Structure 1
Amino acid sequence: MTSKAPSLLKAVILLFFLSGIAGSALTLPSPLSGDFGRTPAYPCGVPPHCGPAIPPDSGHHYRVSRTATPPVIDGKPDDPAWEKAPWTSDFTDIEGALKPPPPLKTRAKLLWDDHYLYIAAELEEPHLWATYDADESVIFHENDFEIFIDPGNDGLLYYELEINALGTKWDLLLTRPYREGGFPINAWEITGLKRGIYLDGSLNDPSDLDRSWSLELALPWKVLRECAPHHRRPVPGDTWRLNFSRVQWDRETIGGKYVKKADPLTGKPLPEHNWVWAPQGVINMHIPEKWGMMEFME
């Protein structure tokens, strides 16, 4: 499995099926339980689905080209390997047409080979801000970029990876959506992950205007295949469920530093913005049946 928890996946699967037999979610001690401050948009007690019954496609479909030459993971998706990979459509608000389009552009692209799934993203950003510098921090409490992957296309045992402009990452394994009694496995880790960040501007400097930041990631199949059908990497023609999210907070400058902008009535930070590839209709990324699909091409 991983260096952090060699037998963790087997234990997770056992607990997962035992919880289904019992008809209720297991209550596990931290760090294996809790939603880390995210409140699901659905009430508790929704019966779990049976896996393959969710719709096959949300309407967002990305064909992942196979590359013979791996891209250089330096944060700048400008080398020749990326030329054959199209960009996704620009991200929209998580609630879809209910909200206006985001004021800042976000897009992503993907490639694959025998060893890795490659992901690149570009995020327009006039105020580069990131302070979480320890991996496994709850980095969506500041601006970040997030990836959700469901290898089985059934909403069960899916991955979440978050990264910020410092390159700090947080990776999780979800047993099932929170609304169905699922819990996050914080001890799960993408061992062998490669990451690169490029900043077109100055980080944490309110005295100037920045332009953007971009990222490149290489996610090894030796880890991603753990929850895939037959525990193997994909072959041409396979489809996995996928979504991307960008968390963006309104900010202001106090004492020469960026801070979250507060609601003048409550003194609490204003709610974050959530901009995504495949909209969910509600503020909840954990609705896998509304994610998009990636199809692996030859």
Structure 2
Amino acid sequence: MAQNKMNDLQAFLAVAQQQSFTKAAAILRVTPSALSHTIRALEERLGVRLLTRTTRNVSLTEAGVRLSESITPLFEQINAELDALGELRDKPKGTIRLTCTDDQIQLHLRPMLANFLRDYPEIQLELYVDYGFTNLVEERFDAGIRLGESISKDMIALRIGPDWRLVVVGSPDYFANHSTPSTPDELTEHACINIRHRVAGPIYAWEFEKDQRSFTVKAEGPLVFNSIMHVLNAALDGIGLAYVPEPLVAPYLADGRLKMILTDWSPYFQGYHLYYPNRRQASPAFMAFVDAIRYRENKQVTAL
């Protein structure tokens, strides 16, 4: 009887998460009609309606929301404990979902991916590029990457790279036709390539610091992206000046395709960190990933 109750609750969670009997039935490998019968029987036993059904949509009632919020963490803990049994396997196995930005992939993930996936062929990584502040728990991510200073204290934070700074760069073609700014204030006279991290958020104001004085400059220009890689490419194409992570542009500075200016005004930021919820038990696959990506001072991080 207890097993049947567990199965019914898992069926309810599948429908609640998918908001569709058809999609949930496919995941559970049952027919939609059988799943509908299971949910109806669960509602009859509990004496409350959990789902509101229409011809097109399925939504949670107030009771359904309460039940979902109360039992979801319990099932997640059960799944985590079951995954932990993978320690008995020769190789860790499972899927790791990570939210990050494309420059973080380029600088910290791409250099280690080939070796990691070769060493752990039964681990699958899902990398989602997102410049917003994603809620790991709500979006069901295993971890994310952020600057250390922006991680909340209820998360475990692991440094994956050294401190770095944003630097102003431009191409030789751009500087051949424009003067070189000597102070950040002069950037307002130049075509600057900007980034907006979220659709509803503001354009990022360029941050500077000198003589213990911090300030920002609202640089303006013809292009705004939500990806730092496209900002970098626009600078390489000579469209304008860009404010980008120094490690990301290091190869282009070395070969002369970009020139760095105003370096005395560029402050350093606390390096990128992997962050994840403080769980009682992490899976062997996730711990293998953590060990592979952790920052070691003698390991150089370079852009590819």
TM-score w.r.t. the length of structure 2 is 0.20
Structure scoring higher RCO (CA < 8 A, sep ≥ 6) equals 1
Relative to its length, the structure with more helix (as a share) is 2
Q: Which has the higher strand share?
A: 1
Q: TM-score, normalised by structure 1?
A: 0.21
